[in-house]
Structure 1
């Protein structure tokens, strides 16, 4: 009997040794929903009837040694978090396994007991501020824009434009990838808020900088919206139909008539595959996309979901838009994403403007009125392919195409007076159309040599932009001088071909330090043919050689830099130097060739200090050259505007901008207080400035007599500074929040003011320094009580003041605007909503300005199963006082304008929303759970 026990003991030891030799190590990490690791969490491994329990270390990590089974379960507990049980099924073998991070959700009861306020609301990283969407609750069916409005540091205007910490957000991404070519409102005003996990504001320096970590230049603000993991599979569809009518005839002169809107938005998610389709047809100024543009009406947009108002944009717009967005993974190594956007918009605009022109002897005032109709066609295609053949190589290819076309009909009246005498008085009829196809692309390759940081990357870009622009200005001179030809036909055909390459090599010289050698090359070649014909009274077309020209120019820049980067847990910095030679050369059919070479030596400095996970400061300096534009170089006089001809200067030098910025952000976990601030300063060498020449009415050249000619030259002394701050203090778990914010900008503008004497025609030139200050101080108070009220009261005071070294009598240079507002939603009887948006604007210093009261309101009723149907009755501009006043101050003029906007109308809409989502696809016979792998599901809440 003893021998049997002895043999059994020996067999057990041998078996244990075999298991110990053949088992594998299982490791992982436990985090909370913000990504913070959880030390001290209990992790139990279950294998049949056996179990082993360990605790996570200071970094939240756990390890099980010699695990011999392929199927097991983990049970995880941590104080203040909900417990979690997860099943795993590993592939056979003895290979050590690193499990995907395990995310625990906060336990609401524990949070209530210790009274912690929104501990996960904001997270501050080096170049990213992340907002937890769950901390900003909105009504079921709301879009993500409604949640963004509640996030401190983010401001959303009535047209959907977003500013982050005082800077405009220029691009939007969905799960880290561009959406609809980055068009912001196409996502923020259509994506349901309940699909969103987090909203990130990123200072983006470009793909190459994101890979290498060496960041310089001026970043763009990018909004990245991350989808909840439990919404990775499913669909969302929304359709709206609505109709109504105007209360009175609109300001554009159209008769009282109907208003209509029809739109659809469809989102389909299946893991890595994402498909979105959006369409909109309306005449309520709610444009789906913003294509930018510089032509008449090209940059106007309303944006907005069905039933929201876009009437705060200038003019009255009929919009027809369609967009498609696609993202997917083609196998394990290729990711693709891209979009197509189309818009066909018609904009009717009525503008009244008053411009005071600064002059040494002949100060003048220009009063003008115009009626304009713009028909805009835009197409935009973007595609991206990312290829990761292995762990050390990365390739990204990004071709693009866009097309913009504008057809314009305009009638205008212009009166230019000087010293109470009429200089010119005419009517203008303008017909113009333009087309601008644009092809481009980029190819990025990155190779990581080893895990120590040695890296090489190259980024190659190329593109071709063509612009065909036809203008037919016809003048009817009523009094004063007749300057420009009565009937001109101006054809300007230009093409710019560009190519660029950027190389970066990083060599580690220590555990925390690196050297980077970089080289950048860019060459832009522009050809422009300008042909001007005049039409005689007999209807004959004559070529006007003095107003025609073929002009070509090249702008070539090289940049060679050496940077040192040091990375520590608390801080990191980059110090470097760069040599930037550039060449600008041009040739013309009517003038001698030009060749201008410049050399700039620029330091590079970037310092980041992380006081904690919620407090950081960033200091950055960079320098960059900028080429003159075609209009600034073209030596031929352009008389498309009779009173304001323009003549370029082919001998201009490129300007060079030196930019310094400082940013400080802080978030307090305990109180929820948020503070954001930034400071920017730019000094420019060889600033390209205007030289305005005022000609007397008796000047010998009749085309210039009585006009103000704009020419260009380089000047020193220009600089600008701006600062922004925001402080937000919440109470009662964000039921109440106070926001205090301010903006200030100061520009030391430079120009030259010239006058031609009316006796001897001698020219006198004097430098004008125009100091312009724009100051805005605002405050907001929010009330957010779920399913009861979501409201905000706000007030702001803005000053726009300028001071010119050349004093000008009887010219107003001080404009003030006071804005008071109240907007929100009251939720009544569970399924009823009353929305209101009231703004009182008080204009001071504007000639003829009114102080409008703007009230937009609607009543909404949700119904059908799960509230998928919504019926809404809206009234826009209840008091019919919608007007728009703006002021612009430069170094040579001060102007103010009043533009028509959409007036009072009524609208009744019906919206149907359908959605179905899950965190993982339907599972097979393997049952619930399962380790992520081929055929395995993705547990809810598990990150990619």
Structure 2
């Protein structure tokens, strides 16, 4: 027995974790341990872990190899310890081009790991000329719109990295249209808790979604960009030069773009200059610098027809507006980081300046409950400088189980605006429709505001004793954060006499206001992690102190509040290919200056806004969870997400319709704190690949329940609703043919649809209530897309049909059905290797809009001639909308309103240009076709 005990004591043990540079686990890596004359072999499991036991020697060396990565080799010594855990075994991608290997095995389209969903590009169709966005559109669970915004399970993708490293601006939409899909090996969707959390291992709060592109071996360097000049029949003249140089961690880019044209409403001019550089700083650091300047001047003409339901009846509003917007901005930024595995340091600095001028002339006609006409002319200017800085520090302490983190941030900003507004309102008798009064009001609104914000945070992690599981870690985390926000706002209102044009200061519409808000959070958390599970739970106390001083009113208001909330984070790998996660987060949100000012804002006479100085900060609770599953053999995958959110002391609008002296109506918007709003939502995707993903069937959708608190005429009410969407999609992927068919149904009864797309509706739409929903919207849609890719001919077709029905919870007599049928065909042919001929046609049939519309038939054609062996230089002729039938018409459903909107724009344009394109990665040229 003594001999057995002595034998066990003489043996040592090694555990380790192998990842790539993005901290993603690498499975099936070959691990070789050499200790004296003994050689031990193993491979990493699905989570990247390996272990060796029965090691006799005090010193040993490790060698780790896997195809596509550089070999890792290093020597170690046990010292006094008999057990060693080795973290930070990062394998770098191989810089040597490997010969193409024919994969006879079946590539698995999706792999799920803790905090990561990984898509294998080998399992999807990639054609010559495809960009990364074309590849992403094939992945189940991802949504990509025309502006290259990416969502996964309803959440925005906010950060881009390549091979786990910062990539130029880290902006997703900036690069997924520029990078060729052919350089991609894998795409990883990562729950990102931040670089500091990756360093300390303490992951608390709600993660953001990060897109990490893993390139093929040797493709982590290249040059891409373009330059050219263009002229067109719509007085268009433009030029651009953009270049990006990428050498793994060394990145430099520069760009200059200028375009001027006639957009149908007048002159449109755009200019942008940008520069960016990032490189290593010493052995463990990196430094990034960026600068950009832009100017945009654009004339506009718009037309809107709005139907607004209200308990008093229905408002019908028709508006025509025209004018010009001028905006300019400058941004200078810098960031740095340092990480030597013991100390992590990160900082950023930024300066920005924005300025704008706006001219607007509009005519507004209202019918229904009241008849009222309004001519409004306005001129405004604004300036907004801002400076911000932030630094974070983390250190692993001597015993390697404890860590200390701290951060400090500062920002200061100001906004100065000057508005001159002239409003001519015509009041009509409610019964006879006879003009009763012609009112003219000219006023000048001057606003000056500035604010400063300082935030600090400190976190100490106390490692607890080791557990029997050698890979397990547990710790207590103590945290404190505080932010101090100070602001001042001065608003002056001056009214001009209609006869003498003499100015008069209106003190009842003016204010001087200062405020200070202090948010604090004190928390304690228990954290546990091993190779298959990570969880933490704890408790936070969040006091909020707000003090407001209204100088002109000699009034002070103090609002102090305290909130308590738990901390919950759980991530577990149940079995290979099956993961689950749960996260809870809570946050204080202060009311804005706009919501606090106790004076009337008369910018819009039809919607006078009055702030509430007694508003309390709101507190948001959010719980999210996800479940991911992939069957290893078949590749069948399931992705689901469940979210719940509610708000304490939510700040909502109280919209009040008041009769005036002419028996007409005017609107007043105030603000109240209230409780009762909640949202529950579930997203899900089932994908079934068939025959090595040549065929696939997917079923996806979401179900949501919501309860929205709102006030109408000072009476609180709740809008309870259901949001429901289902989609069935089938895909056929062959070498030359790709066909996708889908059918979709959605129902929304408590949702503001496309609200962010609508400009200035509140200025014209009397009776609109933000958050109140009176419409139930049904949408039926069917799509059929096909493509044929031959050596010298590409053909794409698309057919989609949609029906949208918005019925009301009351006053359901109007027909609000909108129907759209879209048919399109496009082709691109190669003639004598260097000539390219393109053609596209589309027919759209519209029905049901309030605005007059046509059913446009759009014909486009283009011809290009390529030069040089790599065809990098091309001469292009384009003809857009040959029949001149373009029709910019759209419908939105927002709250209790349906809005049909049209923008005037020249669509028949002939352009001529010359372009030089560069797209070279790993020594090879890749073509990237424009979408």
Distance 1:230 1:431 in 2: 56
Distance 1:817 1:260 in 2: 41
Q: How does 1:305-316 map to 2 (within 5 A)?
A: none
In the alignment, does 2:250 pair up with 1:273?
yes
Determine the structure 2 residue equivalent to 1:757.
none
Determine the structure 1 residue equivalent to 2:423.
475
Q: Secondary structure at the match of 1:593?
A: strand
Distance 1:356 1:603 in 2: 44
Q: In 2, are the aligned partners of 1:445 and 1:457 still within 8 Å (CA)?
A: yes
Determine the structure 1 residue equivalent to 2:728.
779
Cα drift, residue 825 of structure 1: 4.6
Distance 2:91 2:200 in 1: 26
Question: 2:657 pairs with 694, 703, 708, which one?
Answer: 694
Pick closer, same or farther for the CA change 1:284–1:143 going to 2, 3 Å: farther
In the alignment, does 2:861 pair up with 1:912?
no
In the alignment, does 2:419 pair up with 1:464?
no
Determine the structure 2 residue equivalent to 1:143.
131
Cα deviations across residues 368-399 of structure 1 (Å, max 9, x unaligned)?
333343222232333211134x5422211101
Determine the structure 1 residue equivalent to 2:112.
124
Question: 2:384 pairs with 414, 419, 436, which one?
Answer: 436
Determine the structure 2 residue equivalent to 1:508.
463
Structure 1 or 2: more strand by fraction: 2
Cα drift, residue 641 of structure 1: 1.1
Count residues with an aligned counterpart.
814
Question: 2:794 pairs with 810, 830, 833, which one?
Answer: 833
In the alignment, does 2:521 pair up with 1:533?
no
Q: Secondary structure at the match of 2:127?
A: coil
Distance 2:547 2:920 in 1: 60
- Which of the pair has the greater relative contact order for Cα pairs under 8 Å at 6+ separation? 1
Pick closer, same or farther for the CA change 1:31–1:472 going to 2, 3 Å: closer
Pick closer, same or farther for the CA change 1:585–1:855 going to 2, 3 Å: farther
Q: In 2, are the aligned partners of 1:30 and 1:38 still within 8 Å (CA)?
A: no
Question: 1:887 pairs with 871, 892, 913, which one?
Answer: 892
Determine the structure 1 residue equivalent to 2:506.
544
Name which of structure 1's ranges 174-183 and 191-200 shifts more when overlaid on structure 2: 174-183
Q: Secondary structure at the match of 2:583?
A: strand
Q: Secondary structure at the match of 1:851?
A: strand
Cα drift, residue 588 of structure 1: 1.2
Cα drift, residue 336 of structure 1: 0.9
Q: In 2, are the aligned partners of 1:344 and 1:377 still within 8 Å (CA)?
A: yes
Q: Secondary structure at the match of 2:272?
A: strand
Structure 1 gap ranges (5+): 1-25, 46-50, 91-95, 246-256, 286-310, 755-764, 921-944
Cα drift, residue 549 of structure 1: 0.9
Structure 2 gap ranges (5+): 1-13, 76-83, 429-435, 467-472, 753-766, 807-814, 835-867, 925-931
In the alignment, does 2:551 pair up with 1:589?
yes
Question: 2:326 pairs with 370, 375, 395, which one?
Answer: 375
Q: Secondary structure at the match of 1:657?
A: strand
Pick closer, same or farther for the CA change 1:636–1:492 going to 2, 3 Å: same
Determine the structure 2 residue equivalent to 1:732.
691
Q: In 2, are the aligned partners of 1:31 and 1:38 still within 8 Å (CA)?
A: no
Q: In 2, are the aligned partners of 1:328 and 1:336 still within 8 Å (CA)?
A: yes
Cα drift, residue 677 of structure 1: 1.4
Pick closer, same or farther for the CA change 1:331–1:216 going to 2, 3 Å: closer
Determine the structure 2 residue equivalent to 1:344.
295
Pick closer, same or farther for the CA change 1:602–1:573 going to 2, 3 Å: same
Q: Secondary structure at the match of 2:687?
A: strand
Determine the structure 2 residue equivalent to 1:624.
587
Q: In 2, are the aligned partners of 1:179 and 1:325 still within 8 Å (CA)?
A: no
Distance 1:207 1:650 in 2: 39
TM-score when normalising by structure 2: 0.77
Cα deviations across residues 610-637 of structure 1 (Å, max 9, x unaligned)?
1234221111222211111111111111
Q: Secondary structure at the match of 2:660?
A: coil
TM-score when normalising by structure 1: 0.76
Q: In 2, are the aligned partners of 1:582 and 1:598 still within 8 Å (CA)?
A: yes
Distance 1:350 1:42 in 2: 67
Distance 1:901 1:794 in 2: 33
Question: 1:493 pairs with 448, 451, 472, which one?
Answer: 448
Pick closer, same or farther for the CA change 1:327–1:199 going to 2, 3 Å: farther
Determine the structure 1 residue equivalent to 2:929.
none
Question: 2:822 pairs with 853, 869, 872, which one?
Answer: 853
Determine the structure 2 residue equivalent to 1:448.
396
Distance 1:858 1:579 in 2: 62
Name which of structure 1's ranges 851-860 and 545-554 shifts more when overlaid on structure 2: 851-860
Cα drift, residue 589 of structure 1: 3.0
Distance 1:229 1:382 in 2: 32
Q: In 2, are the aligned partners of 1:561 and 1:579 still within 8 Å (CA)?
A: yes
Cα drift, residue 638 of structure 1: 1.0
Determine the structure 1 residue equivalent to 2:515.
553
CA RMSD of aligned residues (A): 4.4
Cα drift, residue 355 of structure 1: 4.6
Q: Secondary structure at the match of 1:652?
A: coil
Pick closer, same or farther for the CA change 1:914–1:695 going to 2, 3 Å: closer
Cα drift, residue 459 of structure 1: 1.2
Pick closer, same or farther for the CA change 1:362–1:74 going to 2, 3 Å: closer
Q: Secondary structure at the match of 1:577?
A: strand
Distance 2:546 2:89 in 1: 57
Distance 1:510 1:317 in 2: 67
Question: 1:408 pairs with 343, 355, 358, which one?
Answer: 358
Cα drift, residue 714 of structure 1: 0.8
Cα drift, residue 718 of structure 1: 1.1
In the alignment, does 2:26 pair up with 1:36?
yes
In the alignment, does 2:544 pair up with 1:575?
no
Cα drift, residue 29 of structure 1: 9.9
Pick closer, same or farther for the CA change 1:29–1:578 going to 2, 3 Å: closer
Q: Secondary structure at the match of 2:422?
A: strand
Cα deviations across residues 473-521 of structure 1 (Å, max 9, x unaligned)?
2112233487996211111111121111111111111332111111110
Q: In 1, are the aligned partners of 2:344 and 2:393 still within 8 Å (CA)?
A: yes
Distance 1:777 1:210 in 2: 37
Q: In 2, are the aligned partners of 1:31 and 1:102 still within 8 Å (CA)?
A: no
Cα deviations across residues 245-301 of structure 1 (Å, max 9, x unaligned)?
5xxxxxxxxxxx25566444422123421112344445799xxxxxxxxxxxxxxxx
Determine the structure 2 residue equivalent to 1:865.
869
Name which of structure 1's ranges 552-561 and 367-376 shifts more when overlaid on structure 2: 367-376
Q: In 1, are the aligned partners of 2:93 and 2:217 still within 8 Å (CA)?
A: no
Cα drift, residue 354 of structure 1: 4.6
Question: 2:899 pairs with 896, 900, 904, which one?
Answer: 896
Determine the structure 2 residue equivalent to 1:171.
159
In the alignment, does 2:671 pair up with 1:712?
yes
Cα drift, residue 61 of structure 1: 8.2
Q: How does 1:315-330 map to 2 (within 5 A)?
A: 319-330=270-281
Distance 2:31 2:163 in 1: 31
Cα drift, residue 695 of structure 1: 0.9
Pick closer, same or farther for the CA change 1:567–1:894 going to 2, 3 Å: same
Cα drift, residue 726 of structure 1: 1.7
Determine the structure 1 residue equivalent to 2:596.
633
Q: In 2, are the aligned partners of 1:772 and 1:889 still within 8 Å (CA)?
A: no
Determine the structure 2 residue equivalent to 1:767.
716
Distance 1:283 1:820 in 2: 38
Cα deviations across residues 167-212 of structure 1 (Å, max 9, x unaligned)?
1223333444555544332111222333444333233334444444
Pick closer, same or farther for the CA change 1:854–1:869 going to 2, 3 Å: farther
Q: In 1, are the aligned partners of 2:427 and 2:662 still within 8 Å (CA)?
A: no
Q: In 1, are the aligned partners of 2:686 and 2:700 still within 8 Å (CA)?
A: yes
